Amino acid sequence: MDQATQCMTQEETKIIDKLKMEMLNAVSLQDLRFYKKEIHRIKEQAVKRHGFFNKLQQTAQEL
């Protein structure tokens, strides 16, 4: 998800880095899946937000 990386804010990048570090300390497979799901969710939200802002800008330019 290279596009997701470009869309993320600095805060989101820091959170993902922390989640990746926590994955190294995970005790169970369930913990690993949780961290992976959270990272994926953050990236998806970044892409959605980026798409929304692009659509908003296009609409504003048309007005």
pLDDT tens for each residue of 11-56: 999 999 999 999 999 999 999 999 999 999 999 999 999 999 999 9
Q: What is the band of 1 on the pLDDT scale with cuts at 50, 70, 90? A: low
Task: Work out whether the CA dihedral 30, 44, 1, 12 comes out positive or negative.
Answer: negative
The torsion angles phi and psi of 9, rounded to 5 degrees, stand at: -80, 170
- pLDDT at residue 12, rounded to an integer: 96
- pLDDT at residue 63, rounded to an integer: 81
Model's pTM, two decimal places? Answer: 0.85
Residue type, 48: K
DSSP characters for 1-60? -HHHHHH--HHHHHHHHHHHHHHHT--SHHHHHHHHHHHHHHHHHHHHHHHHHHHHHHHH
Asked if residue 15 lies in contact with residue 42, where contact means CB atoms within 8 angstroms, the answer is yes
